[in-house]
């Protein structure tokens, strides 16, 4: 049985060209970039070349604005705790949204519990969009940071980032965005966006797991999380992960080169998927904004049944999808994203996220559209909720 992966928002496979670019840095060029000898000089050059490439791809002013981290989670923690710790003498306030990834929500919770930092979690509308007016209204004289994600990982909804950045700038407040789901899918220009801090993760764009970047706009003061050597200009101690850094730069380069064609191709596949589901299955609902959305992401509620059940059946047929976030699956907690969007619990329970990517083909979608209606029908036939629904229809 051919296995079909539709969970690219959880992680992606390493691109063969990325792996090729990385390989020499495991075995042949292994010097510590901080060493002064020629072994060190070779790898230092590789790291600085990668930094420059990534800076260019993000539209950063200066390569020194790119700081390598171990993952998207670290980048988010660094941005949020870094700003809070730098303002520890004030009793400070952070604005974020209710639909952020846990890698933003948890550091905020931590700061509020341990350090008494005041955090505002902004609501979203039914499409998952933050209202910039809400951002404006929540600002107090204590606000030091606004952190709003660029695109949501569960539903793909894109936020009005430029508008929010403008508000932040007017009030002289640092603006961070978790752009982990966006990098590689939409062109990013940090200057045009107006962000001060932006998080990236390698494994969401065909680089390996365990490498990330925090873009830090020149002049932004951040307290470091890791103390040790003077790596990354004293912002992040720890010997640079040279092969992974080289791989991330390569992945960014490939993504930018193919972005338009890849996006068009994937969007067509998603449209086919959603059209097919809406035609073949009744009582379904697409979650997230219809237009302002990542072209690869489709979050769908199948009423009267459990998303987990659908996933298990799909898995038996070789399909990998997910209910919301990979980090919360298995907990059976309803998605905090769908809840914040006002999706009622019974529809949240029945939601499945399909996220398409580089290796998704039209055949894959055809096969899914053949199998999924049968799965839904079988699960509904066993669902007491479905039985009630059918009975009430007969009564009406």
Binding mask 151-170 for ligand PLP (x = CB under 6 A): --x-----------------
Binding mask 354-393 for ligand PLP (x = CB under 6 A): ----------------------------------------
Site string for ligand PLP, 210-229 (x = CB under 6 A): --x-----------------
Binding of ligand PLP by 55 (CB under 6 A): no
Per rule CB under 6 A, is residue 73 in the interface with ligand PLP? yes
Tell me if 267 sits within 8 A of 256, measured CB to CB. no
Tokens describing residue 185: 């899918």
Q: Is 92 one of the catalytic residues? A: no
Task: Decide if residue 201 touches ligand PLP (CB under 6 A).
Answer: yes
Q: Residue 16 belongs to what H/E stretch?
A: helix 16-22
Q: Which of 78, 5, 11, 27 is nearest to 251 (CA)?
A: 11
CB 201 within 8 A of CB 180: yes
Say whether residue 241 binds ligand PLP (CB under 6 A).
Answer: no
Contacts of 91 (CB under 8 A, 6+ apart): 116, 117, 118, 142
Compute the least distance from the CB of residue 11 to ligand PLP, in Å: 7
* Site stretch for ligand PLP (CB under 6 A), options 168-176, 199-207, 213-221, 222-230: 199-207
What are the tokens at 264?
């068009």
What residues contact residue 302 under an 8 Å CB cut-off, 6+ apart? Answer: 281, 283, 284, 310, 350, 351, 352, 376
Size of the site for ligand PLP (CB under 6 A): 14
The backbone region for 304, taken as left when phi is positive above 0, alpha when psi lies in -120 to 50, beta otherwise, is left
Q: What does the angle CA 248 – CA 249 – CA 250 come to, to the nearest 5 degrees?
A: 90
Q: Which of 4, 57, 58, 71 contacts ligand PLP by CB under 6 A? A: 71
Distance CA 389, CA 396 (A): 11
Which residue matches tokens 């990325």?
18
Choose the stretch contacting ligand PLP; rule: CB under 6 A; options: 38-46, 67-75, 88-96, 276-284: 67-75
Identify the residue among 83, 95, 103, 188 touching ligand PLP (CB under 6 A). 103
DSSP 62: -
For the CB of residue 83, give the shortest distance to ligand PLP in the complex, in Å: 17
CB 313 within 8 A of CB 375: yes
Nearer to ligand PLP, 31 or 212 (CB): 212
Position with the least CB separation from ligand PLP: 72
Q: Which two tokens stand for residue 115?
A: 């350090």
Our CB check for ligand PLP shows the closer of 107 and 309 to be: 107
- For tokens 């075995």, the residue is 27
Residue 97 or 313: which CB sits closer to ligand PLP? Answer: 97
Span from 28-36, 69-77, 78-86, 115-123 in contact with ligand PLP (CB under 6 A): 69-77
Q: Is 95 helix (H, G, I), strand (E, B) or coil?
A: strand
Catalytic residue among 71, 92, 127, 327: 327
288 φψ region: left (φ > 0), alpha (ψ -120 to 50), beta (else): left
Question: Which conformational region is residue 99 in: left (phi greater than 0), alpha (psi within -120 to 50 degrees), or beta?
Answer: alpha
Question: Does 240 help bind ligand PLP (rule: CB under 6 A)?
Answer: no
Interface with ligand PLP by CB under 6 A: which range of 122-130, 173-181, 261-269, 335-343? 173-181
* Chain centroid, CA 83 distance in Å: 21
The nearest distance, CB 158 to ligand PLP, in angstroms, is 12
Is there binding between residue 293 and ligand PLP (CB under 6 A)?
no
We find the least distance from the C-beta atom of residue 225 to ligand PLP, in angstroms, to be 14
- The residues carrying an active-site annotation are 327
Which residues of this protein are in contact with ligand PLP, per CB under 6 A?
71-73, 101, 103, 149, 153, 178, 180-181, 201, 203-204, 212
């Amino acid at each position: 049985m051919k296995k079909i992966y539709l969970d690219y928002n959880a992680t992606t496979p390493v691109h063969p060209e990325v792996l090729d670019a990385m390989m020499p840095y495991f075995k042949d060029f292994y010097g510590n970039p901080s060493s002064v000898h020629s072994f060190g000089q070779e790898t230092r050059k590789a790291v600085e070349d990668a930094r420059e490439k990534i800076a260019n791809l993000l539209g950063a002013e200066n390569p020194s604005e790119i700081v390598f981290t171990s993952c998207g989670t670290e980048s988010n923690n660094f941005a949020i705790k870094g700003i809070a710790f730098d303002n520890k003498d004030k009793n400070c306030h952070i604005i974020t949204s209710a639909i952020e990834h846990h890698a933003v929500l948890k550091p905020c919770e931590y700061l509020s519990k341990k350090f008494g930092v005041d955090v505002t979690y902004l609501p979203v509308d039914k499409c998952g969009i933050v209202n910039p007016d809400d951002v404006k209204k929540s600002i107090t004289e204590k606000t030091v940071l606004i952190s709003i994600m660029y695109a949501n990982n569960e539903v793909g909804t894109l936020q009005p980032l430029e508008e929010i950045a403008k508000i932040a700038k007017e009030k002289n407040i640092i603006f961070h965005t978790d752009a982990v789901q966006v990098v590689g899918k939409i062109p990013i220009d940090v200057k045009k966006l107006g962000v001060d801090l932006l998080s990236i993760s390698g494994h969401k764009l065909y680089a390996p797991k365990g490498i990330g970047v925090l873009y830090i706009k020149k002049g932004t003061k951040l307290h470091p999380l890791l103390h040790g050597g003077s790596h990354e200009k004293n912002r992040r101690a720890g010997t640079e992960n040279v092969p992974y850094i080289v791989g991330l730069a390569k992945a960014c380069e490939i993504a930018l080169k193919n972005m338009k064609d890849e996006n068009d191709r994937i969007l067509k596949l998603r449209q086919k998927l959603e059209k097919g589901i809406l035609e073949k299955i009744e009582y379904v609902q697409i979650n997230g904004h219809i237009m302002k959305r990542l072209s690869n992401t489709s979050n769908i509620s199948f009423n009267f049944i459990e998303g987990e059940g659908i996933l298990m059946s799909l898995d038996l047929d070789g399909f990998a999808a997910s209910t919301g976030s990979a980090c919360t699956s298995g907990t059976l907690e309803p998605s905090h994203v769908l809840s914040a969007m006002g999706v009622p619990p019974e529809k949240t329970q029945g939601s499945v996220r399909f996220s398409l990517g580089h290796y998704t083909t039209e055949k894959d979608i055809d096969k899914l559209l053949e199998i999924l209606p049968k799965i839904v029908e079988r699960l509904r036939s066993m669902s007491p909720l479905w039985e009630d629904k059918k009975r009430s229809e007969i009564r009406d």
